[in-house]
Amino acid sequence: MKPGRLFTRKLGLGLFAAILVGGFGWVVARSGPLSPIQVTTLRVEAGSLSPAIFGIGTVEARRSYLIGPTAAGRVKAVHVDVGEMVKGGQLLAEIDPVDLDERLRSAEAAYARAASAVSAAEAQCKDARARRQLAELNAQRYRDLGGKHFVSASAVEGKQQELDAAQALVEVSEASLQGARQEQLRLKADQDGIREQRGNLRLLASRDGLVISRDAEPGSTVIAGQAILRLVEPDSLWVKARLDQGRSRGLAVGQAAEIVLRSNVSTPLPGKVARIEPVSDSVTEERIALIAFEHIPKGLSLGEMTEVTVKTGAAQSGLIVPNAAIKQMPRGSGVWTLKEGKLSLTPVKLGNTSLDGSVQILDGLAAGDEVLVHSDRELSEGARIQVVNQLVGKPK
């Protein structure tokens, strides 16, 4: 064997050994527990964030009306259909009056009869007055004659008694006239009452509105209070939004909101908080706020799902960190900080959060501190780390 060939072989083998050992060393260093945890870091800086909360809601009408009878009955006619606009006072539906018309006629007849009774009583009254006048004249004449002793005292007293009787008769007839008039009034009121009842069976629109449902058809029997039609005022539509209790801090009436309709995701609509319900939903742990539109869009449908973002305050300045850096622990919140290459978990006090993931730090960090944001493994005290620009995706 030539020494040259031997040398080449030795070189080749050495090269192979070097590659193998190098590869093996790389493998040991880069994988397993010896490899460093890759992290991204950030210097804490003062900044500002706009606190906001997000919730979902449905479009509802602030004022809606259930149109139905006040007593049980059968529907005779329904004059409008779903989707129609109606004017205040417009006849919407009628309930079958059954015998009300007949009762009204009977009341009218009774009223007419009462009018006749009044006339009769008036005539009687007149007759009684005439009799009294005559009795008065007679009594006067006999008193004069009695004073001159032409007639006996008993005759005078007889005529005086006739006058008294005539007077009583006048009073009786006047009383009966009054009674007849009162009877006439009573029957008039009865008649009006029946007419009112008859009118009550005609269901009228209480306000200008839109018919949103027609729940009973002619011929069906409804009970008192059951709705035949439902009306809403189209200019009173708003959004009933449900917001997470845990984030609802700072919510107040009048705050600006952004409403995104499911039917039109690309165009957020401006609105504002019109009312916050004093009672929260204790089962779903949500607060309920009503958001009014600045301008109610055309073709808005009731019950449509919406997403609502309420700006709960003006921009606030302070130390800001991304929420990916926050570590939640049983004792409270903390962040991993890097000081002179050493990791430590620093407890912090959190303030407001914004929807883009920024968190205000109230206490625990100072401006310029280096905090860990992302990591490719769970961090622990004393872990080896390697700071990189980003962990996934193409380098920027």
Which residue, 10 or 113, has its beta carbon nearer to other proteins?
10
35 touches other proteins by CB under 8 A: no
33 touches other proteins by CB under 8 A: yes
Least Cβ distance, residue 16 to other proteins (angstroms): 6
Return the closest-CA partner of residue 72 out of 232, 205, 228, 189: 228
Binding-site size, other proteins (CB under 8 A): 54
Which residues lie closer than 8 Å to 374 by C-beta, 6 or more apart?
39, 40, 324, 390, 391
323 touches other proteins by CB under 8 A: yes
Least Cβ distance, residue 251 to other proteins (angstroms): 13
Which residue, 342 or 377, has its beta carbon nearer to other proteins?
377
- Collapsing DSSP states into helix, strand and coil, what is residue 15? helix
Write out the binding residues for other proteins, residues 101-120 only, by CB under 8 A.
none
Which range in 164-172, 201-209, 292-300, 370-378 contacts other proteins by CB under 8 A?
A: 370-378
Strand partners for 308: 55, 259
- Collapsing DSSP states into helix, strand and coil, what is residue 187? helix
Tokens of 336: 């991993």
d(CA 269, CA 290): 15
31 touches other proteins by CB under 8 A: yes
167 touches other proteins by CB under 8 A: no
CB atoms within 10 A of CB 72: 12
Q: Which residue type does 81 have?
A: D
Least Cβ distance, residue 66 to other proteins (angstroms): 10
d(CA 223, CA 231): 19
Which residue, 201 or 243, has its beta carbon nearer to other proteins?
243
Tokens of 377: 């493994």
Strand partners for 292: 238, 272
Which residue, 21 or 253, has its beta carbon nearer to other proteins?
21
* CA dist 132 → 93, 122, 163, 170, 219 (Å): 61, 15, 6, 7, 65
21 touches other proteins by CB under 8 A: yes
Which residues lie closer than 8 Å to 314 by C-beta, 6 or more apart?
50
Which range in 76-84, 162-170, 178-186, 355-363 contacts other proteins by CB under 8 A?
A: 355-363
Write out the binding residues for other proteins, residues 287-316 only, by CB under 8 A.
307
DSSP string, 349-364: EEEEE-TTSEEEEEES
379 touches other proteins by CB under 8 A: yes
Residues that bind other proteins (CB under 8 A): 1, 6, 9-10, 12-13, 16, 20-21, 23-24, 26-27, 30-33, 54-56, 223, 226-227, 243-244, 246-247, 283-284, 307, 322-324, 326-328, 330-331, 353-357, 373-379, 390-393
